[in-house]
Structure 1
Amino acid sequence: MKTATRLTASLALGMALAATTAAVPGDATAAPHPHQIRAARSVTLTNADDGRTVTVARGDTVTVKLTGIRDQGVRWAWSEPAATAPGVLRRSRGGTSPDGGASAVFRAVGRGTSDVTAYRRCVAAPGHVCPRIVIRWRAAVVVK
């Protein structure tokens, strides 16, 4: 009799679990969102990107990393990159390094186009002479 009671109790429990499982949908999906959500992306520009145009979306990050050059007793050092339209690209940080490099991080905040520019100048070591030239680096950033 004890075996029959245990069997009946086990059977009842199994049926209750099956009923509960059947009441909960197996493949619940979220309703489609009316607007597409896109993750912000990051674009990195380097010395080789001089003259390039890139297109980004609002919220994206544009990082500029320029490398200084040492050659025959002189160092070619970059100025800190700057945006020509801060209402389109807002610089969140930037700076120069002792080796002549420079970097900056910009956030695309408004629609439009902004150039990012930096200038490379010669810094002579003692006993060396620099040519009197300044080299401009420029990239155009279009924010859609």
Structure 2
Amino acid sequence: MAAVAVTRIGKPRYPVMIKKLFAVALATALAAGAAPAAAHGQASNRAQRVTLTNSDNGRSATANTGDDVDIRLTSVRDNGLTYSWSVPQSSTPDVARLANGGTTPDGGAMATFHAEEAGTVTITAARHCRPDPGRVCPSVMTPWKVTVSVE
């Protein structure tokens, strides 16, 4: 007698154990999502990211403890002059600690500050001129400053 191969067409059958495991995982995920932290009287512990740019000069911002404050400053190039930024600095590292920072080859600057504790911090940078050969820069340095309240 010859062996006959049987090919099943249609939905594959999963073992009952996998179906039960999937049902438990799905129920757990739905239950966790159905009761947000605020419903239990707790604030969300998820850190946020506050991003500040050239246009935020002179402004105030608010962050929560644990948040990251990103500074992204872009350079300006005009008539053979490049206006480059210094690396942003924190006035109060206990409130906002510099996690990383640097400058880009085109004169931009970036920094990430981690909000460590409640308080107020001033983050500053300065824009200065770099001339192309044969050009002369005006003797002007432009400050950039934001005040961040960490709650």
CA 1:29 to 1:99, structure 2 compared with 1: closer, same or farther past 3 Å? closer
Q: Please give the secondary structure, in 1, of the residue aligned with 2:92.
A: coil
Deviations 1:21-63 (A, max 9, x none): xxxxx99957974533331110100000000100111001100
CA-CA distance at 1:100 after TM superposition: 0.7
Say if 2:125 is the partner of 1:118. yes
Question: Within 5 Å, which residues of 2 pair with 1:50-61?
Answer: 50-61=57-68
Match of 2:134 in 1: 127
Question: Within 5 Å, which residues of 2 pair with 1:60-71?
Answer: 60-71=67-78
Match of 2:42 in 1: 35
User: Number of matched residues?
Assistant: 119
**Aligned partners of 1:85 and 1:123: how far apart in 2?**
29
**Aligned partners of 2:128 and 2:43: how far apart in 1?**
45
Root-mean-square deviation (CA, aligned residues, Å) is: 2.0
Q: Which runs of 4+ in 1 moved over 2 A?
A: 26-38
Match of 1:8 in 2: none
Amino acid at match of 1:56: A
Larger-Rg structure: 1
Report which stretch shifted further, 36-45 or 76-85.
36-45
Unaligned runs of 5+ in 2: 1-26
Say if 2:49 is the partner of 1:48. no
**Aligned partners of 1:36 and 1:106: how far apart in 2?**
22
1:103 paired residue among 85, 100, 110: 110
